[in-house]
A and B are shown apart, each in its own frame.
Chain A
């Protein structure tokens, strides 16, 4: 981790919004917006994600870091900017649960990393499958908190197969963290142990799919 990333991470963890804005403004004097995102914002969020997984930082810091970065990136790379990563079409959803925090964090991290994606809010299986097919989604991020909701991912994946569509599914949330075999059991393509890891995995898929 270079000094710039380390310093930016410290500003985020201490929720220093003004300091973070100044750091990005400073970096933009020597780098393009997409370089700032890829070389400072994303690595800092990845470090924070790993630190959360290790119990070194708290969810509130992950959440606020995502919010701060989302706003910063929105300012330097608006949704209409051609450098925004729109393809392949992707979406995020909270499946069945009413606990929206995990999705909110990952959505912020995705946007802070330059991605554009649909936010489906909270949906049950039928509505989700219908919407994914209608929107021609190719990458679906599913967040859950409760075990029964996690098990419903299996039905989502089965329905995609039955419909003959290829949708890559990445899952995240507490049940998957407490049982690291669960994501395979439900037929997902991957799990994100933290928000930044999920973003990195989806980013890799997107490059593969565009190639």
Chain B
């Protein structure tokens, strides 16, 4: 008997083999295309996103609903503005912290006062009313440690970390309160889990030694206060040298990059965290159906055995420019080749070492 997406996902997260590998295509702006709306119009009403997510879930037979709008929506709560473009994710239109001195008096904004965050919560409530406990609803909170990239710009943020440790800590305190409140509001609205985006903690961005005293320290102060399971996502950054450290923060899932080998990551995860990934979302734009099928088979062959694996792309959001045909090909390949016990793997790997 076929499992529900929730049963399938919980089995995989319990490091058991479900009926098939869960498909976590994290789709956002594609909902606008389904509804024939511009991206800006689509995200202006929770009803649009509810309908868009449900259509995408049915069309691509995904195993989750994704309540994420766009990253800049959190910075809107801090007084920032968003620039909408026609074919991609809305952009954070400049920093809200223009001088480090502003940090001294920075107060975290109330979730209830932020219109954009309110729409996300309405979306989660609407999705929950439609699917109950049959499909996981994934909420998103940007890590307090990574949020400053949008709040003040990456270069100025690195300068702050290295040159002004006291102000860095002050910023973390404000951000931590915001992130915890935001994540818990989504869980209270009906989200099943929170995707904790933390690309600055990736070893693509900072070395492990710095992660241990900054990003990991922050995660340890945040994740235990979030009243539900979390997935830590590095938005296509590398994690191999810190995978064990990330597991130590108590997260359940790690989103991994196409830049790293999935089999090596699976071995390093050692059953402590499940992996989400790692299809290349940028290349995906120009994949043929055959290339999509090959990429799906390769990922499943490397990481599918024994559960602990959710198939998805590697950035935490499928680019809007990826055509529907590619997504349908991925979905079909996941359905065909993701069925356990995956007894095709050995023969396939002989031909595709």
- Point out residues on A near B: beta carbons under 8 Å: 15, 55, 57-61, 63-64, 96-101, 104-105, 146-149, 151, 174-175, 178-179, 181-182
Contacts and interface: CB of A to CB of B under 8 A. Distances in A.
A146 B203 contact: no
A99 B240 CA distance: 25
Interface in B305-340: 319-321
Contacts of A178: 236, 258-259, 280-283
Nearest to A105: B155
A133 B91 CA distance: 28
7 contacts: A60-B206, A60-B207, A64-B162, A98-B94, A148-B87, A148-B320, A178-B258
A15 B162 contact: yes
A151 B154 CA distance: 23
A97 B91 contact: yes
Interface residues of B, number: 37
Interface in B63-106: 83, 85, 87-89, 91-94
A100 B157 CA distance: 12
A74 B240 CA distance: 37
Interface string B238-280: 1010000000000000000011100000000000000000001
Contact of A58 (B91, B94, B155, B204): B204
Contacts of A149: 88
B36 to A, nearest CB: 20
Nearest to A97: B91
Contacts of A179: 280, 282-283, 285-286
B285 A147 contact: yes
B161 to A, nearest CB: 8
A64 B158 contact: yes
Given A58-B203, A59-B205, A175-B282, A151 B321 contact: yes
B93 A98 contact: yes
B210 interface: yes
Contact of B321 (A15, A60, A63, A148): A148
Contact of A146 (B89, B204, B259): B89
A101 B87 contact: no
Given A55-B204, A58-B204, A63-B158, 14 more contacts: A55-B203, A55-B238, A55-B259, A60-B205, A60-B206, A96-B85, A98-B94, A100-B153, A100-B154, A101-B154, A105-B155, A146-B89, A149-B88, A175-B282
From DSSP, what is the main secondary structure of chain A's interface residues? helix
Nearest to B241: A55
From DSSP, what is the main secondary structure of chain B's interface residues? loop
Nearest to B161: A60
Please indicate which of the listed interface residues A15, A97, A148 has the most CB atoms of chain B within 10 Å of its own CB: A148
A149 B88 CA distance: 9
Contacts of A59: 204-206
Nearest to A147: B319
B88 A147 contact: yes
Nearest to A148: B88
Interface in B271-307: 280-283, 285-286
Interface string B124-156: 000000000000000000000000010001110
Given A100-B154, A151-B321, A57 B88 contact: no
A61 B89 contact: no
Give me the 7 closest cross-chain CB pairs, A-B, nearest first: A148-B88, A178-B282, A101-B154, A179-B282, A58-B207, A60-B206, A104-B155
Contacts of B238: 55
Nearest to A100: B153
A179 B280 CA distance: 8
A146 B29 CA distance: 14
A195 B158 CA distance: 17
Contacts of B161: 60
Nearest to B240: A55
Please indicate which of the listed interface residues B89, B94, B207 has the most CB atoms of chain A within 10 Å of its own CB: B207
Contacts of A58: 203-207, 210
Contacts of B149: 99
A57 B206 CA distance: 8
A151 B87 CA distance: 10
